[in-house]
């Protein structure tokens, strides 16, 4: 892409994804014998598609833990767990997210390492713009991705969050770039794609599980597709 100087990414469910093997094991132990990572991922992506605008952090979600548990119970129900087991699935998932030093979004997305390294080899500057709770940098470091990144913006540290254009402009300003010199990649239509476009960046919707088959926005199913598109 002519004139491209930087690529910005979303954090959760884009560069870092849920530990689907861990969640699959938990679901199976609670009775969903045929639970599979892809089904959990698709259920989660569809849920987020419906609800993402409700998950803002500024002002803070009144009861973030309740929202977490409600969401994970809905995912569990979607993959076939009965109500009591779904609640238990949500409780244990939340506990793991709180107690594990990397949280539950601890796995680099497929191809993340290689894609970031290849983009950097093209002299592109790379950054993350995350609606997060102050731990985005630490989680990216623990997952081994921070080494490829020039910038991590965490909404809770800058006081503004996606989809507000100010957080995208802040990222551009850090690199001294115009919006036409960068693209943005994220998994949510409203927060990521429409937010980035509102700030003048060309967006790519990262639709790992195929929750947005009807959407006409530029859409990728794997991060490595960027290497051909950019």
Q: Give the residues lining the site for Mg ion (CB under 5 A).
A: 10, 12-13, 187
Residue 32 or 185: which CB sits closer to Mg ion? 185
Residue 69 or 161: which CB sits closer to Mg ion? 161
Shortest approach of Mg ion to residue 83 CB, angstroms? 28
**Dist. CA 92–CA 85, nearest whole Å:** 10
Residue 63 or 190: which CB sits closer to Mg ion? 190
Place of tokens 């790379």: 126
Shortest approach of Mg ion to residue 19 CB, angstroms? 15
The structure tokens listed for 138 are: 């630490």
Residue 81 or 148: which CB sits closer to Mg ion? 148
Shortest approach of Mg ion to residue 188 CB, angstroms? 6
Sequence-distant (6+) residues with CB within 8 A of 138 are none
Residue 69 or 207: which CB sits closer to Mg ion? 207
Q: Residue with CB nearest Mg ion?
A: 13
Shortest approach of Mg ion to residue 56 CB, angstroms? 13
Shortest approach of Mg ion to residue 206 CB, angstroms? 8
């Amino acid at each position: 892409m002519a004139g491209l100087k930087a690529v910005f990414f979303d954090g959760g469910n884009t560069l870092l994804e849920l530990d689907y093997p861990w969640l699959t094991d938990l679901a199976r132990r609670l009775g969903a014998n045929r639970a599979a990572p892809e089904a959990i991922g698709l259920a989660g992506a569809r849920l987020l598609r419906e609800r993402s605008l409700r998950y803002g952090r500024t002002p803070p979600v009144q009861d973030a833990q309740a929202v977490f548990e409600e969401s994970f119970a809905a995912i569990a129900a979607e993959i076939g767990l009965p109500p009591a087991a779904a609640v238990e699935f949500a409780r244990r998932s939340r506990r793991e997210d709180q107690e594990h030093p990397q949280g539950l979004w601890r796995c680099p997305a497929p191809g993340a390492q290689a894609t970031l390294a290849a983009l950097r080899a093209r002299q592109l500057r790379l950054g993350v713009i995350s609606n997060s709770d102050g731990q985005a940098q630490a989680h990216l470091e623990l997952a081994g991705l921070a080494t490829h990144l020039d910038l991590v913006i965490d909404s809770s540290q800058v006081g503004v969050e996606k989809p507000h254009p100010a957080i995208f402009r802040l990222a551009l300003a850090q690199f001294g770039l115009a919006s036409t010199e960068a693209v943005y990649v994220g998994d949510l239509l409203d927060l990521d794609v429409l937010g980035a476009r509102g700030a003048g960046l060309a967006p790519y919707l990262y639709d790992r599980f195929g929750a947005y088959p009807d959407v006409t926005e530029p859409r990728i199913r794997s991060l490595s597709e960027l290497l051909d598109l950019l």
